[in-house]
Amino acid sequence: MATESVEVLIEGGKATAAPPLGPALGPMGVNIGQVVADINKKTQEFKGMQVPVTVTIDTETKSYTISIGTPPASALIKKEAKLQKGASNPLLDKVADLPIESIIKIAIMKEDALLGKDLTMKVREIIGTCQSMGVLVEGMPAQGALKAVAEGKFDKKIAGRKTELSAEDQAAMAEEKERLQQEAEERRDELLEQAQGIVSSMGDAESGEIKAKLTEANIPPTIIDEVMPDEPTAAEKAITENL
């Protein structure tokens, strides 16, 4: 059986017969409208995200199969939590709180790409990714959520592949996200003020010494980069040395 493949990157649920898909499929002799419809059906869960799609066509029968590559788990978590980015300092800051239904949904979307032998293990993998992004699960940090999974607290929902949230749940999730982000902003302002005070107190100390002091005070790297004094240029150093 001879086959040919067409690989494209499309927005989930929004494939069209326009370039790049249509012109690539045209010479293959397949029903382009049907292929587009099938792709959109398979990618509707990825709306708003770029998804790699491969269409493999049997050149004799004109039958085809569609393979969907899923975005990274981190991108799916951001989409579920409606985040632009994860926490810059996830050990201290939490920027969203996802219900277990959202975690199950992401685990199902990534099911073929995850290593776990069953859906429970795949859910655990997604919770691990939440930890690195500063995202809580059911109001718990990752370790607490993993313990709850191990104790079977979500077994019924995982076994039932429950992914839908009520309007009330969605509203509560949005409210909690806003609260967490406000706390993160307040925490950042406190750390920034602390860092600026350290830099000011050290006067003309060497940059390495200042950075070491900031690190010792557990100031996050992003804030350290923000408050570190600019290094003098070679010309400025030369002028200073000649004074």
Interval 69-114: pLDDT, tens: 888 899 899 988 888 888 878 877 888 999 999 999 999 888 878 8
Please tell me the predicted confidence (pLDDT) of residue 172.
79
Which of residues 68, 103, 120 is at a domain's end?
68
Q: Return d(Cα 199, Cα 184) in angstroms, integer.
A: 22
Residue 237 has pLDDT above 80, yes or no: no
Whether residue 167 is found in the same domain as residue 126: yes
Whether residue 86 is found in the same domain as residue 169: yes
Mean pLDDT of 192-207: 88
Long-range pairs, 154-162, Cβ under 8 A, ≥24? 154/100, 154/104, 154/123, 155/120, 157/100, 157/101, 157/104, 158/100, 158/104, 158/119, 158/120, 158/123, 159/119, 161/104, 161/108, 161/119, 162/101, 162/104
Confidence of residue 238 (pLDDT cuts 50, 70, 90): low
Which of residues 168, 183, 198 is at a domain's end?
183
243 assigned to some structural domain: no
55 Cβ partners below 8 Å, 6+ apart?
A: 5, 6, 7, 8, 25, 30, 35, 39, 64, 65, 66
Mean pLDDT of 112-121: 90
CATH number of domain containing 173: 1.10.10.250
Residue 236 has pLDDT above 50, yes or no: no
**Mean pLDDT over each residue of the chain, to the nearest integer:** 86
Residue 231 has pLDDT above 70, yes or no: no
Whether residue 33 is found in the same domain as residue 84: no
Q: Return d(Cα 139, Cα 127) in angstroms, integer.
A: 12
Residue 187 has pLDDT above 90, yes or no: no
* 93-113 per-residue burial string, b: 16 or more CB within 10 A, e: under 16: bbbbbbbbbbbbbbbbbbeee
Whether residue 177 is found in the same domain as residue 212: no
Q: Return d(Cα 31, Cα 63) in angstroms, integer.
A: 9
Residue 121 has pLDDT above 50, yes or no: yes
**Number of domains forming the structure of the chain:** 3
30 assigned to some structural domain: yes
Please tell me the predicted confidence (pLDDT) of residue 234.
52
Please tell me the predicted confidence (pLDDT) of residue 42.
86
What range does the domain containing 29 cover?
3-68
Whether residue 164 is found in the same domain as residue 94: yes
Whether residue 205 is found in the same domain as residue 225: yes
pLDDT tens sequence across 124-173: 999 999 999 999 999 999 999 999 999 999 999 999 998 887 788 778 77
pLDDT tens sequence across 31-66: 999 999 999 988 887 887 888 899 999 988 999 999
